[in-house]
Amino acid sequence: MHRRGLAVLLLVASLPAQTFIVDVNNGPGTNFTQIAAAVPAVPDGSTLLVRAGSYMSFAINGKGLTILCDPGVAVTGAVTVNGTLAQQSFVLRALTWPTTSIAGPYLLELTNCAGPVLLEGLVTPLVRCIGCARAVNAANCSQLMVRSCSLGGTTTMTDCVAVIEGGFLAGDSYQLYTQNGGVGLDVTRGVVQAVGTTISGGDGLSAMLTFLSAAAGIIMVDADLRLVRGSVSGGMGYSNFFSPPAVFGFGTANVLRVDPGVVLRSAPAASPIVGVTPQVAPMPALTSSDAAVGGNLVATVSTLPGDLVALLLGMPGPPTLVPGFRDAFWLDPTAYYFDSFGVQQAGAPITSTKAVPNLPQLQGLRVTWQAVCNGPVTGWQATNPSVSLIR
């Protein structure tokens, strides 16, 4: 699809999807009053438009769905997604959990998701209690995107290939003598990129457990972790001297790459990284925006001045390694094009704006941006992928 525009790309790649209205208040046009009732009833690949209100927990098993929530949509229980196939995508946007006092260890659990998963604008509270659920647990997910989420409580990723773009991940803080703070991000094996994300460990205010009371921002166990822009900080203990590092590595197979633009915070007397030797080198970053039908998608690439930038736009595809590049491309090899070329100028990142056709059937579709950068210091690098959602 070289040289084709966004409109042609979307029309070629899109397939008709059935759309259903979920409204707990049973307003005009309502098809279901609960998400839990809609999930098993609608066809695979459907889009659920959820209106403001409070909803019960729901579970998705072996089905691809797009769930787009209006502002003010809250769920009072756990959400689970399990067993999606490679051709089944799952999108969850703008859902809020007002409380962590629910049954189950996590508010959101993703297990064995072979297809692409996009979590965007999700919010979980920072207020904690003993035995309450933590934020997100993802296990064996091969195409996971987490964008602009504010997740209080530990986020865990095990055997996942994932990108975290923007947002805030924070471990919970405890004030009881027998409780420790929680880590912000716990990564075991897998390949994870965090781009422009603020990650912090939970504080511990116990005078009796000065060393163990606070938590690291990130714990990695035999994982491949790439940090670009953003910040990572350990929680604060009873004494600053005993505060944990920003990143704590366990195991012998960790790979940690850190862009110099990442801010690492720990206590003055502590090392910001413990248990793993980081590879520090400049890495380009890519961000993008969503848009409503009839609106504009915007993507921005930031790299070193003088670097050549080629920005690609296409449909989502499974992460694929290309010879000569350390990081995978997340583009469908049959449905992408080179959107623009440029040379990075100081203080002027490369930006592209694309108009979305005013077609209601495009609602819920995703497109993927990714860029290739080359320069004397950068070398040949692929940026992180970034997904734009048409809503």
For the entire predicted model, the pTM comes to 0.93
What separation, in Å, do the N-terminal and C-terminal C-alpha atoms of the chain show? 24
Residue 75 CA to residue 82 CA, distance in Å, equals 18
**Is the pLDDT at 192 greater than 80, yes or no?**
yes
Q: How many CB atoms lie within 10 A of CB 100?
A: 21
Per-residue model confidence (pLDDT) at position 5: 66
Whether 219 shows a pLDDT value over 60: the answer reads yes
Given a cut of 80, is residue 213 above it in pLDDT?
no
How many Cα atoms within 13 Å fall on the side-chain side of residue 140? 10
pLDDT score of 101: 75
Burial class (CB in 10 A: 0-12, 13-18, 19+), 37: middle
Asked if residue 329 is part of any domain, the answer here is: yes
Q: What is the pLDDT of residue 335?
A: 87
Q: Is residue 120 part of a domain?
A: no
Give the number of other Cβ atoms within 10 Å of residue 334's Cβ: 11
Q: What is the pLDDT of residue 178?
A: 42
Question: How does DSSP assign 272-304, residue by residue?
Answer: SEESS--EE----EEEE--B-TTSEEEEEEE--
Within a domain: residue 11?
no
Q: Is residue 369 part of a domain?
A: yes
Q: Which residues pair with 123 in a beta bridge?
A: 96, 150
Q: Is residue 53 part of a domain?
A: no
What CA dihedral angle connects 283, 289, 10 and 6, to 10 degrees?
-70
* Residue 147 CB partners (closer than 8 Å, separation 6+): 118, 119, 120, 121, 164, 165, 166, 167, 386, 387
- Each residue of 274-327: pLDDT tens digit? 999 999 999 999 999 999 999 999 999 999 999 999 999 999 999 999 999 999
Confidence (pLDDT) at 330: 97
The pLDDT > 90 percentage for the chain reads 73
Is the pLDDT confidence value at 30 over 90?
A: yes
Give me the pLDDT at residue 2, please: 44
How far apart CA 164 and CA 329 sit, in angstroms, is: 15
Average pLDDT, integer, range 142-166: 96
Q: What is the pLDDT of residue 236?
A: 72
Q: Within a domain: residue 4?
A: no
Do 277 and 283 contact (CB within 8 A), yes or no?
A: no
Decide: residue 362, CB within 10 A, 0-12 exposed, 13-18 middle, 19+ buried.
Answer: buried
Give per-residue pLDDT as tens, 337-380. Answer: 999 999 999 888 999 999 998 888 888 889 999 999 999 999 99
Does residue 131 register a pLDDT over 80?
A: no
Region 219-230 average pLDDT: 97
pLDDT tens, position by position, 91-128: 999 999 998 777 778 999 999 999 999 999 999 987 65
Question: Which tokens in the block code for residue 328?
Answer: 């995978």
pLDDT of residue 99: 81
pLDDT above 70: residue 212: no
**Does residue 378 form part of some domain?**
yes
DSSP assignment of 196-261 equals: S-EEEPPPB--SS-TTTSS--SEEEES-EEEEESSEEEPPP-SSGGGPPPSEEEESS--EEEE-TT
Compute CA distances 154 → 119, 126, 128, 207, 273, whole Å.
16, 10, 11, 23, 19
Structural domain harbouring 321? 288-389
Mean pLDDT value across the chain: 89
pLDDT for 4: 53
pLDDT interval class at 185 (50, 70, 90): very high
Q: Give the C-alpha separation, 313 to 317, whole Å.
A: 12
CATH at 293 = 2.20.130
- Whether the pLDDT of residue 222 is over 70: the answer is yes
Residue 132 confidence (pLDDT): 73
pLDDT (average), residues 143-167: 96
Q: For the chain, where are the alpha helices, taking DSSP H only?
A: 6-13, 35-41
Domain presence at residue 267:
no
Domain count, the chain: 1
